[in-house]
Amino acid sequence: MPEDQTDTTSEVTPAPETGDLVVDSALTDLDAVDTADLDAVLAAGEAVHATLTSRLSDLGS
């Protein structure tokens, strides 16, 4: 490939799987967000944070 051309193909990496259905669902939702929509990325990130916080607090009880 000539140096002035860039490879625009990219491999899609699936969302990680943790084995926890709730966490996996939140990560899948985050993975599905349009990265050009920063408000959607922020909202999805906050939702994942809340989910992870909740699941981790369950470990302490």
24-54 pLDDT per residue, tens:
999 999 999 999 999 999 999 999 999 999 9
The pLDDT of 10-33, averaged and rounded, is 85
The more confidently predicted of residues 49 and 61 is: 49
- Whether 3 is covered by a domain: the verdict is no
- Long-range pairs for 31-38: beta carbons < 8 A, 24 or more residues apart: none
Position 50 in a domain: yes
> Total domain count for the chain?
1
Record the tokens describing residue 47, joined without a space.
């939702």
What's the pLDDT at 16?
75
Residue 26 lies in a domain: yes
Q: Given this model, what pLDDT does residue 8 score?
A: 54
pLDDT of residue 61: 67
The verdict on residue 14 lying in a domain is no
What tokens appear for 40 in the block?
Answer: 């959607």
- Residue of 51, 43, 54, 7 lying closest to 25 (CA atoms): 51
Beta-strand runs (E) in 1-61: none
Return all residues near 29 (Cβ < 8 A) that are at least 6 apart.
Answer: 44, 47, 48
Residue 27: give the domain boundaries: 21-59
Asked if residue 34 belongs to a domain, the reply is: yes
